[in-house]
Structure 1
Amino acid sequence: MEKLKTGLLINAMIEYYQNDKKRINHFLKVYGFAKAIGENENIPSDMQFILQTAAVVHDIGIKISEEKYNSSAGEYQQVEGPPIAKVMLEKLGYDETVTGRVCFLIAHHHTYKNIEGIDYQILVEADFLVNIFEDNMDADKIKRIKEKIFITETGKRYLDLLYL
């Protein structure tokens, strides 16, 4: 059932971002890295499901942030995203525990201090793995990100293999 829900959620997000190839490809890449890191780090299955769900919807607030503030800044995404995600997840039948944690992760995924939980940590790492490529970051910046942000062995290995 959980896998089926993830597929339905991906469908809903592709419809939500209709014709926005950049945003659709972004969340699918973050989802892929989050799934792989979580599995390789052997996190509990319930947390893996939350992580994968959050990875799909983590940037759901961008669309309204761009409309409302003419900006995709993380601070706006963190405010605008959770209410939209909550409605989408409830419509798809996600339970309150999953929805609550996913909304928390959306509301904090651009906050890198006091990361609470391995699901949060992996979401941040997966997002950075994609953003580094999409933003064409230089090696010095990538090294600083690795030192300050990355904790998981899998995330660090992916970062090294991809960029360093």
Structure 2
Amino acid sequence: MKDKIAKLSRMMIEFDRETPDRVNHFLKVYGFAKSIGELEGLDQQTQFTLETAALVHDVGIKISRQKYGDGGWRHQEIEGPPVARRMLEELAFPPEMIERVCFLVAHHHTYNAVDGADYQILLEADFLVNIFEKGMNRSQIAAIRDKNFRTKTGMEYINWLFLS
């Protein structure tokens, strides 16, 4: 599994090589997702799915910008899954995992239909990075925490990093 994550990471870095900010973003989301998932005690398969989804969650931005002139979340959620699927199939990820990762890519900006720990943690990890990158204020951060954070570790991280 580690080998597949390393190969996918390399593939994503190559894919987004013209935009180092995107590479930094997905690597930071990956780091938070990995940490939160491990500390929350996810089983090995769910952790592997989470880490995979964290690496490819924004893969639709590049295509969206080319196709629509913007990388907005609606376009990302449409354009991302086919690109993620091709990458994961090329690396011989298990078909059931590919389906779940594509679902997560297609829904990582949809906050009202969370159906698993991998989904919840991906959202929290992405929020932690976006909060920093967008320079949000304390009231915005507290509102995001109260509305969207559920894991003990995610709550600790958002409080420690932005609200204490």
Determine if the TM-score, normalized by the shorter chain, exceeds 0.5: yes
TM superposition shift of 1:20: 1.0
Other-structure match for 1:150 = 149
Distance 1:148 1:158 in 2: 15
Q: Structure 1 residue 117 and structure 2 residue 119: aligned?
A: no
Match in the other structure for 1:163: 162
Displacement after TM superposition at 1:114 (Å): 1.7
Shift of 1:70: 1.1
Gaps of 5+ in 1: none
Which letter maps to 1:14? I
Equivalent position SS for 1:162: helix
TM-score, normalising length: structure 2: 0.98
Give the equivalent residue in structure 1 for 2:31: 32
- Cα RMSD (Å) of the superposition? 0.5
Q: For residue 19 of structure 2, what is the aligned residue in structure 1?
A: 20
List alignment gaps of at least 5 residues for structure 2. Answer: none
**% of aligned pairs identical?**
53
Aligned residues: 163
TM-score of the two chains, using structure 1 as the length reference:
0.98
Q: Which residue matches 2:51?
A: 52
Question: Take 2:20 and 2:139, find their aligned partners in 1: how far apart are those partners?
Answer: 29
- CA–CA separation in structure 2 for the residues paired with 1:72 and 1:128: 17
Between 1:71-80 and 1:31-40, the stretch displaced more is 71-80
Tell me the distance in 2 between the aligned counterparts of 1:99 and 1:88. 10
